[in-house]
Structure 1
């Protein structure tokens, strides 16, 4: 079993690059989990991610040593960092971009008791929308930590819903995310505020603002989203 001490050691190893453990759980016997570090099914998973922009300086130092043509640099960095921790602690590292896709959103809600915001990003009671999941560690033994219970969902108490009123092209609505409309705007002549400072709807959320990503971090993600 992954005892508290071992989990603390894993967290300490991740913290060297600004990453944190984001909860975890044991798979039920009725589930069909992905395999662990061997061909045996995993028995538990620990989610790995970030709160705020803590990994950014670590990523930039790594990025400066890489070829400028490297594809998907943040994903590559995350895989490298989490993969090294997985090897050290006898786990299998997986990523949200792995194919076939693993149910990271469902894992995250189960691990931390979170629910989606109107933008689809999980709303965290402390970090608001300013957090992310970068990968997960799959183990072939169980973890000692109990499964999370649902926490307060801040969106339920938010009457004004400014996150649905700030986008110039109304990309988010009850009908879902208008991907093409958003993409065309960000790439267009009027999209500089979004390209340079991030999603206006996301920035309008009143929660977790102390953890908001700096403009350069948001610009990096928006540039990647738009393929610029």
Structure 2
């Protein structure tokens, strides 16, 4: 076999951020709410770790056992959509005019997604969609600084944890944490993605996810 490199490429950028609330129906089935665009997205960062421990016998490594994967990270943004604050950061609107936001709400888990640009050595570009199936957000980190000769926009960092969604399964019935769906040169995935946000007869998010998985299997009740 002749040695041959793959096409050289890099990924960059951070666009098309979106989120959708995760809930259950009265019967206990998965219910993904309407996806919303996330405006102002600067960066998404997730890091997965997995503890590995060696056990010894006969003066040699007898076996090595790995624990469960743990994923932590953050979403960095210039602004936070109001719906995201209400659904996923525990905020609640008051009845004042105009309404204020207070921190006595409930922060529900959510689907998180975004797209990266893929550029190859010949300048061709495509998109790669990332979907995290079960994310929990904590109170955002932020600070203020005085304006000087120039003003710098404040970045807000939202700490997050990600875990497998027991309702979203692969073909082996294993819960999925992350989906990476690279588009074709004809924009097949992008066309499906755009239909999530059409005003008339939009595609359901679970149908989009199941297309990516190549399965329609959802566990009723978990």
Question: Which TM bucket (shorter chain)?
Answer: under 0.3
Q: Comparing both chains, which one has the higher relative contact order based on Cα–Cα distances under 8 Å and sequence gaps of 6 or more? A: 1
If the length of structure 2 is used for normalisation, what is the TM-score?
A: 0.27
* Larger helix share, 1 or 2: 1
Q: Taking structure 1 as the reference length, what is the TM-score of the superposition? A: 0.26
